[in-house]
């Protein structure tokens, strides 16, 4: 196997690597450094178990001092040596993974951008490696930093090579650098790995938290699964679950280690102290409590909103009841639409809002005869009359805030059908 590896590399000018076996694991010695494999589990919290492992190279010098992989790769002086270092790393990962794998997990492998661009100039390697190791290509996920290759033709050629072998393709570190959604559409990866900076920011930034489920949903619509990496604490894990991400990875779940996590069940502790049942139960409790809190808040608005709808049905003066609604904290405006979705009359505004319409949106203040047919809350009201509907949070183009809208279609005694709407500030929810 080693002979086949070095022959495949065709790097006559490079020092040949030597291999040792330590406690059953293969290690490589290359230009005065020692290389070994670590594996970090990737969890599907729906399955409540690891579904894959990312191979991570660990490097130490002759004094047993750790060298970061980034530092090691950056210090390589020639492209042939860089190609060999990358291939040695993947060789170790494959060999050490096959030794332990239960054949029901993916092996995630990073490929250095230089190898992606120039590896073909140094002879075939990866297909032969997988064949020799006896690992199915469909059990391998190749991670690609898509923004590291500007040449789209070369990027597509590289992806086609791995895809033709049968490997899965993952875009790594999406959401940082020059990542673009057009690459997701063009590459059609099996998995998109969201950069750890997104996980870090979502705890502190409510905008990121609100956007994340939509980002995940958009990636899903592109036909890709979503992996969130960099999960380092329970709160981040709970937010990752809430976002709809398919897989999670990070120190909170398990730290990289030479051995694969074995026999992890829903009730057992994995490396890093992860109790999958605890995490799932914590999320279920959080969602249940959040739904209760949301219902309690909404019921106050819904009761007042329902009273306004009753006055329209009974053709009574609307002012007293709508004032009861407008004085509730968070109510932004009330308005009426006809059956075509066109606004009838002007907005009903809380007294303190009448003179403080946001200046940056002042050009949008006049909404008389505006059409809101495209809004889902209008179409739902039309399809189910006399029922109060609550929209999903969205950005109000008239107030510049995240809001929800209550809507209901009612019919007065004169037979005129009106869709009553009320926008509520939902920025802090």
Percent of the chain that is helix, strand, coil (3-state, to 5): 40, 25, 35
Pair 122, 86: CB distance under 8 Å: no
What is the CB neighbour count within 10 angstroms for residue 344? 13
Q: What is the pLDDT of residue 6?
A: 40
- 3 state SS of 103: coil
Q: What is the DSSP letter of 23?
A: T
With a cut of 50, which residues of the chain have pLDDT below it?
1-15, 266-273, 355-356
Distance between CA 45 and CA 247 in Å, rounded? Answer: 7
Q: What is the pLDDT of residue 365?
A: 64
Q: What is the pLDDT of residue 3?
A: 38
Q: What is the pLDDT of residue 359?
A: 66
Q: Would you tell me the crossing angle of helices 206-221 and 234-243 to the nearest 10 degrees?
A: 50
Q: What is the pLDDT of residue 209?
A: 86
Encoded tokens for 200: 């870090």
Encoded tokens for 227: 């992996």
Neighbouring-strand partners of residue 39: 55, 257
What CATH number labels 2-274? 3.20.20.450
Every domain range in the chain assigned CATH 3.30.450.20? 288-425
Every domain range in the chain assigned CATH 3.20.20.450? 2-274
Encoded tokens for 258: 């030479």
Block residue for tokens 């829903």: 266
Q: What is the pLDDT of residue 14?
A: 39
Distance between CA 106 and CA 114 in Å, rounded? Answer: 24
Q: Which helix (H) or strand (E) holds 345?
A: strand 343-348
Distance between CA 128 and CA 105 in Å, rounded? Answer: 21
> What CATH architecture does domain 288-425 belong to?
2-Layer Sandwich (3.30)
């Amino acid at each position: 196997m080693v002979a086949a590896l070095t022959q495949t590399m065709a790097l006559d000018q490079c020092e040949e690597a030597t291999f040792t076996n330590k406690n059953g694991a293969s290690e490589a010695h290359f230009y005065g450094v020692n290389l070994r494999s670590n594996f970090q589990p990737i969890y599907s919290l729906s399955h409540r178990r690891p579904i894959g492992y990312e191979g991570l190279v660990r490097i130490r010098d002759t004094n047993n001092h750790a060298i970061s992989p980034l530092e090691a790769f950056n210090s390589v002086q020639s492209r042939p040596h860089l190609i060999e270092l990358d291939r040695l790393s993947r060789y170790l990962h494959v060999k050490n993974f096959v030794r332990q794998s239960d054949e029901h997990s993916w092996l995630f492998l990073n490929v250095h951008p230089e190898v992606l661009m120039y590896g073909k100039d140094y002879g075939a390697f990866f297909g032969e490696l997988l064949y020799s190791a006896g690992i199915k290509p469909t059990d391998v996920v190749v991670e690609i930093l898509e923004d590291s290759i500007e040449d789209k033709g070369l990027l597509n050629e590289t992806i086609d090579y791995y895809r033709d072998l049968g490997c899965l393709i993952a875009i790594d570190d999406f959401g940082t650098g020059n990542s673009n959604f057009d690459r997701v559409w063009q590459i059609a990866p099996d998995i998109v790995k969201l950069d750890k900076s997104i996980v870090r920011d979502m705890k502190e930034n409510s905008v990121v938290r609100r956007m994340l489920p939509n980002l995940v949903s958009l990636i899903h619509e592109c036909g890709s699964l979503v992996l969130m990496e960099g999960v380092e604490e329970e709160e981040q894990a709970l937010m990752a679950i809430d976002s709809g991400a398919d897989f999670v990875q990070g120190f909170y779940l398990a730290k990289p280690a030479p051995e694969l996590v074995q026999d992890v069940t829903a009730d057992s502790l994995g490396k890093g102290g992860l109790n999958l049942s605890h995490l799932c139960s914590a999320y279920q409790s959080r969602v249940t409590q959040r739904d209760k809190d949301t219902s309690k808040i909404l019921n106050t608005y819904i009761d007042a909103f329902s009273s306004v709808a009753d006055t329209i049905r009974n053709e009574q003066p609307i002012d007293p009841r709508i004032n009861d609604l407008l004085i509730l904290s968070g109510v932004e405006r009330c308005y009426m639409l006809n059956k075509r979705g066109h606004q009838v009359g002007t907005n009903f505004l809380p007294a303190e809002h009448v003179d403080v319409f946001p200046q940056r949106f002042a050009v949008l203040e006049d909404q008389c005869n505006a059409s809101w047919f495209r809004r889902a809350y209008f179409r739902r009201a039309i399809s189910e009359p006399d029922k109060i509907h609550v929209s999903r949070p969205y950005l109000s183009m008239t107030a510049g805030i995240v809001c929800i809208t209550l809507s209901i279609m009612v019919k007065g005694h004169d037979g005129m059908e009106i869709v009553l709407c009320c926008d509520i500030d939902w920025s802090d929810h």
